[in-house]
Amino acid sequence: MPASNGTKRKSVAVREVAATFGRKGVEPDPSWEWEFATSLSEKYAHEELHSLYGRHRDGENSFDYMMRRILVRAMSKKCGNGLQVGPGVVFKHPETIEFGEGVFIGAQAMIQGRHDGTCIIGNHVWIGPQAYFDARALHLEDYVGWGPGAKVLGSTHTGEPTENPIISTRLVIKEVLVGFGADVGMNASILPGVHVGANSIIGAGAVVTADVPEYAVVAGVPAKILRSRLRE
């Protein structure tokens, strides 16, 4: 459409460039970092490690990035090489969380575990800024991409008996599984018990209430299958 001054709007070229994160190798972290993390985990209780992490949680310099990696390794159940933790990331019960190799966690994300829960984040997983994980029973397989602001809910209240406030009723925890290579779009929401198939795509803003087949493309509220990525 012509602009108000009579000039035509310039078209913007579409470019296709090589992926960076998904093709990047993982270099081993220095041995002294592993030794330092081990010594911290042996010396300090969980609450003290959380306090130490808080000192570096919001910093944006290279030292803060390094200390977040070391302290998450000290706090977590398992942590591979090359972890990147952005500023402002919050962890609850990191002692129940396992991180694979080359995991990236964007700024202000929150991963909320549970004292008796299980959370497995596989190799080469990319988690966008301001993501939220109800990670009481969560498994992200290798090469999952998780868009900015996307959320997973792994539990819900029963709402029974009905005369009680809903938040006072018992929790039902259901495992959420996101398969290998799946991509979850910005601001999407995945509800309790959903299994997302390998190499599938969840559209931006989708609310996923049912299992997603492998290689499917889904979108909408509630999410519906639009097509398959496989050639027929």
d(CA 230, CA 133): 29
Q: What is the pLDDT of residue 17?
A: 86
Q: Is 26 exposed, middle or buried (0-12, 13-18, 19+ CB in 10 A)?
A: middle
Rounded to an integer, what distance in angstroms lies between the CA atom of residue 110 and that of residue 127? 10
- pLDDT value of position 94: 96
pTM over 0.85: yes
**Is 121 part of a structural domain of the chain?**
yes
pLDDT of residue 6: 60
Please, which residues bridge with residue 155 across strands? 173
| Run of H or E residues at 134 | strand 132-134
Asked whether residue 6 is assigned to any structural domain, the reply reads no
Residues of the chain under the 50 pLDDT cut = none
Per-residue pLDDT at 2: 53
| Integer Cα distance of 120 and 98 in angstroms | 5
49 and 70 in a single domain? The answer is yes
Q: Note whether 94 and 59 are same-domain residues.
A: no
| Mean pLDDT taken over the chain | 94
Quick check: is 7 in a domain?
no
Q: Is residue 1 part of a domain?
A: no
pLDDT for position 19: 84
- 91 - beta bridge partners? 111
Q: Are residues 191 and 133 in the same domain?
A: yes
Give tens-digit pLDDT for 121-135. 999 999 999 999 999
Number of structural domains found in the chain = 2
64-74: per-residue pLDDT in tens? 999 999 999 99
Tell me: do 156 and 222 sit in the same domain. yes
Task: Provide the domain limits for residue 47.
Answer: 29-75
Q: Please indicate, yes or no, whether residues 90 and 171 belong to a single structural domain of this protein.
A: yes
Instruction: Examine the fold and report which residue of 75, 90, 109 is the final residue of a domain before the chain moves on.
Output: 75
Return the pLDDT at 5: 61
Tell whether 198 and 166 lie within a shared domain: yes
